[in-house]
Structure 1
Amino acid sequence: MTATAPKPRAARKPKESTARWKDALPSREDLQKLKKTALIREASRAFKEKGFHNVSLDDVAERLNVTKAALYYYVKGKRELLFETQSVALDLGDIALAEANRGTTGLEKIALIVSRFILLVTDDAVLSVFVSPLDDLLPEHQDIVRKRRRSFDLRVRELIQEGIQDGSIAPCEPKLAVAWLMGAINWIPQWFRRDGEHSPEELAQTLVQFMTRGLAADPAGLGKRLAQILTPAR
């Protein structure tokens, strides 16, 4: 009787640890976030260039070189996508507001917020962000955006009032002051170009000087202190 030759052992597959490839590759969750970010950014650009009502989900999908069906994994429709673009703009406001913690007077806090906001809206990743009329949003999204906008507006008004009380800001109507400040900032993405004559930092420095001198109780004493507090703004 002839002995049967033993079967060769199958090569063992190396066990993949939780941190595959030492985290050199993005996880599925990270990839999903990157794709959603790309979707929101491209939609923002399209809405800004052509107007919300002149852009379809097919147009956005074509710009991303994917199918329209692929977009439904992230949003239910165009108006929900619009809400996502507005959320980015609102998030920028929250980031800018956090800068107020580095200031001492009301005027310093306003200067820090304005500087940070300008640097944010001139960043390559968010230059396409635009502010949409509330009527274009779904009713439930209108409420969310309205509340967040109002919360931001009221907080900046409070800081202006704080500056009036501590003597750093000249007496003024805080509501109108905020409308003036934000009107100037919201218009920047419409005309600013990264390859233009001025860098984001130069733009922020110049506009902060303009705005704070318009609010300051003592414009002559601003220069040195502003330079000190704005240096680490980015």
Structure 2
Amino acid sequence: MGNKSWTTPGASRDAQREGKRRAVLQAGARLFNDQGYEQTSLEEIATALNITKRTIYYYVDSKEDILFGCHLLGLEFLGETMAQSQDQSLPVMERIALLIRGYCAWVSTDFGATIAMVREQSLSADRRTALRASKAEVDFQLRSLISEGIAESSLRPCDPRLVAAVVFGALNWIPHWNRVENPVPQEDIAEQYLQLVFQGMVPAQS
């Protein structure tokens, strides 16, 4: 193959296979985000990895399989953020900040950006339904946190659905404008967004 990074010395067969499959997904995600899902071929993904198209089929069944695999890996990362934001021992404001920071970090990765940049219609009906259900969980989590903040008076009364729509709309737009030569660090983006969100939602001090 001529690709030294394709094989990890000393790794088990299962670990080798999983590593290679992840490499296929990573290459696919990067190309999907850079040039579009429809415009990317399996041949281009194989070329990016310095392997043959035939080799790719050992690890995925199709281009759609790569796209859905990217989404699953991205959501796996986001699941850790979701778990942290459900920690009842933390103040609700801190949990909201954890969720927004984590989502910002996630959508700034190749895997996370695929959900924001690639149309759901590129997936089959069953996979599209599964993806929407996972995204709805994140939306529901933020709405719940906002509702909790309103109930304890740490946030102003508002419609949690509208606030969540504004927050995720802004976050999902990040890969559309920040995939440039000198991107704004995602940490800086998250802090700026948090300032805007909380300035509009935290009650004025009397």
The gaps in structure 1 that reach 5 residues or longer are: 1-23, 222-234
Q: What amino acid is the match of 1:188?
A: I
Counterpart among 123, 126, 132 of residue 137 in structure 1: 123
Larger Rg, first or second structure (1 or 2): 1
Per the alignment, do residues 143 and 127 of structure 1 end up closer, same or farther by CA in structure 2, a change over 3 Å counting? closer
Is the contact between residue 74 and residue 106 of structure 2 (CA under 8 Å) also seen in structure 1? no
Q: Which residue of 2 aligns with 1:146?
A: 132
Q: Which residue of 2 aligns with 1:87?
A: 72
Q: Which residue of 2 aligns with 1:208?
A: 194
Is the contact between residue 106 and residue 159 of structure 1 (CA under 8 Å) also seen in structure 2? yes
How far apart are 1:126 and its partner, in Å?
4.7
Alignment pair present for 1:113 and 2:106? no
Is the contact between residue 81 and residue 99 of structure 2 (CA under 8 Å) also seen in structure 1? yes
% identity of equivalent residues: 28
Q: What amino acid is the match of 1:38?
A: A
How far apart are 1:167 and its partner, in Å?
1.0
Counterpart among 24, 40, 60 of residue 55 in structure 1: 40
Is the contact between residue 111 and residue 208 of structure 1 (CA under 8 Å) also seen in structure 2? yes
Counterpart among 20, 23, 28 of residue 38 in structure 1: 23
Per the alignment, do residues 78 and 107 of structure 1 end up closer, same or farther by CA in structure 2, a change over 3 Å counting? same
Give deviations 1:156-202, integer Å, cap 9, x for gaps. Answer: 21111111111111111111111111112122223336973754333
Is the contact between residue 99 and residue 116 of structure 1 (CA under 8 Å) also seen in structure 2? no
CA distance in 2 between partners of 1:29 and 1:68 (Å) = 21
CA distance in 2 between partners of 1:193 and 1:56 (Å) = 21
CA distance in 2 between partners of 1:193 and 1:47 (Å) = 13
In proportion to residue count, which structure has more helix?
A: 2
Per the alignment, do residues 194 and 134 of structure 1 end up closer, same or farther by CA in structure 2, a change over 3 Å counting? closer
Give secondary structure in 2 for the equivalent of 1:118: helix
CA distance in 1 between partners of 2:88 and 2:184 (Å) = 26
Per the alignment, do residues 133 and 199 of structure 1 end up closer, same or farther by CA in structure 2, a change over 3 Å counting? closer
CA distance in 2 between partners of 1:142 and 1:199 (Å) = 31
How far apart are 1:210 and its partner, in Å?
2.0
Is the contact between residue 40 and residue 85 of structure 1 (CA under 8 Å) also seen in structure 2? yes
Is the contact between residue 134 and residue 142 of structure 1 (CA under 8 Å) also seen in structure 2? yes
Per the alignment, do residues 73 and 215 of structure 1 end up closer, same or farther by CA in structure 2, a change over 3 Å counting? farther
CA distance in 1 between partners of 2:26 and 2:79 (Å) = 19
CA distance in 1 between partners of 2:140 and 2:112 (Å) = 25
